Structure 1
Amino acid sequence: MKMTIPKLREILEERLTSENRKIIYNRERDELRVEDSKLNKGITISLPPIISKFEKKKEQAIDEVVYYVEEALKAMAAPIELTGHEKNIYPVIRSTSFPKKTDHGGDLLIDEHTAETRIYYALDLGNTYRLIDEKMVEKENWDSNRVREIARFNLRSLSNPLKKDTVGGNDYYFLNTNDGYDASRILNEGLMKEMEEKVEGTLAISIPHQDVLIFADIKNDMGYDILAQMTMSFYTTGSIPITALSFYYEDGKLEPIFIMAKNRPTRKE
């Protein structure tokens, strides 16, 4: 069936309606907000991106949204403590359009990353996570740098299984464990250095959504076009899109690039 905004809204409202919940629709922005009436906290869902995912993933796209909202609301109701849960703290990469504040106006703990991305910090709760804000850090008398150090340490402890695919003479390595931190591994300096030494051509990297990291060993012009197509495909189907742009990686630095079809890429100023 052809999915439309009104139809999607109807389906989501039906599946997410329950006692002690309030659902608000913003017609101007095509957003659906699901709130816990007792907590006065909730999740805002943008509907147009779900329409795009539905075209490729059908009912699975809706199932994923419902699951995400249900788990996020459960997490909001649970008491959150950093102390004693240090092993569950990780950095997460998000686009620069991602909110910098909580629903109640609190400042999330954020670090700048690239022109396209920022680094946030999350407390892993199993089936979902909670982004760490500055009030949470202050409440436990922590220093924000402690969160950063713990998160980076935990990230380095994660495994990095890579699946290789060769297309048009170019090698592509995919990291896709679905643990929520695949894209975050771009912050693992050891892994990045390892890949820089491994490639024979030019190293390009993509983080289209949170559950995939792509390393590309570009050996000819066709390699850029292939990477662009792969990245866009992942970007349009991921649950939490990050960026459709790719990056050069050289001497520990990331530089966003534009990849134009059938042309060599240009560096973004």
Structure 2
Amino acid sequence: MEMTNLKMKKLLMDRLARENFSIIYDHENKQLRIEDKDTKKGITVSIPTVVSKWEEKKEKAVDEIVYHIEEALKAMTGVQKLEGKEKYIFPVIRSTSFPTETKDGKKLIYDEHTAETRIYYAIDLGSSYRLIDFPFVEQEGWNEERIKQVARFNVRSLKIELKEDEVAGNKFYFLNTNDGYDASRILNESLLEKMASQIKGAMAVAVPHQDVLIFADIENDTGYNVLGQMVMHFFTEGQIPITALPFIYENKELEPIFVLAHNKPE
């Protein structure tokens, strides 16, 4: 069966029909806006993006997006507390194009990270999480620095399970636990230093989307080509893409690189 934008729009509208949901279709931009009727908070979905995922995953793609929307709306409209939830506060990595305010104008807590990435902070709600904004912190009697310290401590406690692969003399290590914080582990400095100590060639690191962290031990030109293709593949497949550019890790610094076919990075 061929899936079109119109068919997908109808399928999603049917699957998301709820008494407390308002669904609006933006014909010009081919986007579906799903909002909670009481709070007016919501999420916008690109129909062509879902169609593209459907072509690969079929019904599973629709199940995933429906679940993501429902959980995101729960997170937006539910009541959350910080006190007593210290162990559930984590940093999350996003691209520098990610908004620094919520749709209703609340400024999010964030830090600059690299030229490609930014660090935001979230409270884990189980099956979803809420990005932490300044009004939320202030009403809880906390401050920005406390959030950041707790989150940085917690990310170091996350388990590290790497899968290893080798291509043309270059080693690649993948971290993919799907706990929502795989990319966040790039902030674990002791992990980066541990990897640097065992890598023989150039050390590259990549966070193409939220649910994967890649380390690469690049020993020849082919390694750069493989890394570039790999990162682009993950970037296009991810639910929450971050950056298609890998980083060279040197002297405890991350520097984005452009990988050109058959060449070393420029």
Question: After superposition, what is the alpha-carbon deviation per residue over 1:212-241, rounded to whole angstroms, capped at 9, x for unaligned?
Answer: 000000011000111111111111111111
| Cα deviation, residue 77, structure 1 | 2.7
Match of 1:35 in 2: 35
Match of 2:55 in 1: 55
- The number of residues matched between the two structures is 266
| Cα deviation, residue 56, structure 1 | 2.4
Distance 1:228 1:258 in 2: 8
Match of 1:144 in 2: 144
Distance 2:146 2:87 in 1: 13
Match of 1:241 in 2: 241
TM-score (norm 1): 0.95
Distance 2:125 2:18 in 1: 23
What aligned pairs does 1:72-111 form with structure 2 within 5 A after superposition? 72-111=72-111
3-state DSSP of counterpart to 2:161: coil
3-state DSSP of counterpart to 1:157: coil
Verify: 1:166 aligned to 2:183, yes or no: no
Distance 1:48 1:220 in 2: 38
- Maintained 8 Å contact 1:87/1:154: yes
- Maintained 8 Å contact 1:206/1:215: yes
State the identity %: 59
Greater CA deviation, 58-67 or 123-132? 58-67
Code of the residue aligned with 1:209 in structure 2: it is H
3-state DSSP of counterpart to 1:44: strand
Match of 1:128 in 2: 128
TM-score (norm 2): 0.96
The structure-2 alpha-carbon separation of the partners of 1:119 and 1:45, relative to structure 1 and needing over 3 Å to count, comes to same
Match of 2:212 in 1: 212
Code of the residue aligned with 1:206 in structure 2: it is A
3-state DSSP of counterpart to 2:215: strand
Distance 2:231 2:219 in 1: 18
Distance 2:46 2:93 in 1: 19
Match of 1:260 in 2: 260
| Cα deviation, residue 96, structure 1 | 1.6
Code of the residue aligned with 2:117 in structure 1: it is T
Question: After superposition, what is the alpha-carbon deviation per residue over 1:171-229, rounded to whole angstroms, capped at 9, x for unaligned?
Answer: 00000000000001001101011111110000011111100000000011000111111
| Cα deviation, residue 165, structure 1 | 0.4
What aligned pairs does 1:6-45 form with structure 2 within 5 A after superposition? 6-45=6-45
Distance 1:13 1:96 in 2: 31
Greater CA deviation, 235-244 or 211-220? 235-244
- Maintained 8 Å contact 1:56/1:237: no
Match of 1:203 in 2: 203
Distance 1:205 1:187 in 2: 11
Greater CA deviation, 36-45 or 173-182? 36-45
- Maintained 8 Å contact 1:208/1:242: yes
Match of 2:183 in 1: 183
3-state DSSP of counterpart to 2:257: strand
Question: After superposition, what is the alpha-carbon deviation per residue over 1:131-162, rounded to whole angstroms, capped at 9, x for unaligned?
Answer: 10011111112110100000000000011110
Runs (4 or more) in structure 1 with deviation over 3 Å come to none
Distance 2:46 2:227 in 1: 27
Distance 1:102 1:232 in 2: 28
| Cα deviation, residue 5, structure 1 | 2.2
- Maintained 8 Å contact 1:246/1:257: yes
Greater CA deviation, 120-129 or 5-14? 5-14
- Maintained 8 Å contact 1:163/1:175: yes
The structure-2 alpha-carbon separation of the partners of 1:116 and 1:47, relative to structure 1 and needing over 3 Å to count, comes to farther
Q: Once superposed, what is the RMSD of the aligned Cα atoms?
A: 1.2
